[in-house]
Amino acid sequence: MGANSADSLSPVVAADHPGVSELFAVLACGEISAFYRLADDARMSPTMAGRVALARMAGAEMRHFERLESALTDRGLDVYDAMAPFVTPLDDYHASTHPSTWLESLVKAYVGDGIAADFYLEIAGRLDPSVGAVVREVLAETGHSEFVVHEVSAAVQASTKEKDRLMLWGRRLLGEAITQSQYVMAQREALTDLVLTASGDLNGVAALFDRMQQRHAERMAVLGLV
């Protein structure tokens, strides 16, 4: 049986599990990838305030990258070697979810980060505390989401057409995120074993994805996308 609430259970993944380094590496690669995606998307901002908001989010991603880099270095690994297997799947995710408007880029920053955070934070509860602490630290809310919530909810209140478009967009982001995470899992045995161990079994993984879908819906609602 899968774990219904991973956080309430004790750690089951040891600090020396071979998937831990892969977990840090995929997170590090995600931070760099998000940094450049945010910097790119900022071009679409109609205002300087929008450009600054995205630069702030990108700056937070870099601080998290540096935390992961030192965690990998502490484990005797080179951050670039460790990240190499994850570059293509993350590039593919971003290529398949390339925003065509400023609002799409804001929804992606908010919803995409949220999906990733849900996944990793669920797992963090079952990892050795020293490992879980790093994961929580780099996924901590960076406090920059109010800008996104304010901009998007104002826009969708003003336009039903915009709202319909962005609801479809949110669904696509969730679908692509799940597709790419399954692709990563299929390639990386140690990471897959870590996720399976943390979730209990395959039913546990399925329950985790169900909870992620539920939280995705809640997040869309915060943006006025219901």
| Residues found near its own copies in the complex (CB under 8 A) | 32, 35-36, 39-40, 42, 47-49, 51-52, 55-56, 58-59, 62-63, 65-66, 79-80, 83-84, 87
Query: What angle (nearest 5°) sits at the alpha carbon of residue 214, between those of residues 191 and 68?
Result: 35
Q: Which is nearer to its own copies, 147 or 169 (CB)?
A: 147
Q: Which is nearer to its own copies, 94 or 163 (CB)?
A: 94
Q: Which is nearer to its own copies, 42 or 111 (CB)?
A: 42
Rounded to the nearest whole angstrom, what is the least distance from the CB of residue 135 to its own copies in the complex? 20
Write phi, then psi, for 127 (nearest 5 degrees): -95, 155
Rounded to the nearest whole angstrom, what is the least distance from the CB of residue 76 to its own copies in the complex? 18
Rounded to the nearest whole angstrom, what is the least distance from the CB of residue 40 to its own copies in the complex? 8
The count of C-alpha atoms lying within 13 angstroms of the C-alpha of 36, restricted to the half-sphere facing its C-beta, is: 10
Q: Which is nearer to its own copies, 10 or 46 (CB)?
A: 46
Rounded to the nearest whole angstrom, what is the least distance from the CB of residue 48 to its own copies in the complex? 5
Q: Which is nearer to its own copies, 38 or 205 (CB)?
A: 38
Gyration radius of the chain over CA positions: 17
Question: What's the Cα-to-Cα distance from 204 to each of 46, 122, 192, 201, 209, rounded to whole Å?
Answer: 44, 11, 13, 5, 9
Q: Where are the alpha helices (DSSP H) in 42-159?
A: 48-74, 79-96, 102-107, 113-124, 129-139, 145-158
**Best CA proximity match to 52, nearest among 166, 147, 186:** 147
Rounded to the nearest whole angstrom, what is the least distance from the CB of residue 15 to its own copies in the complex? 25
d(CA 13, CA 74): 18
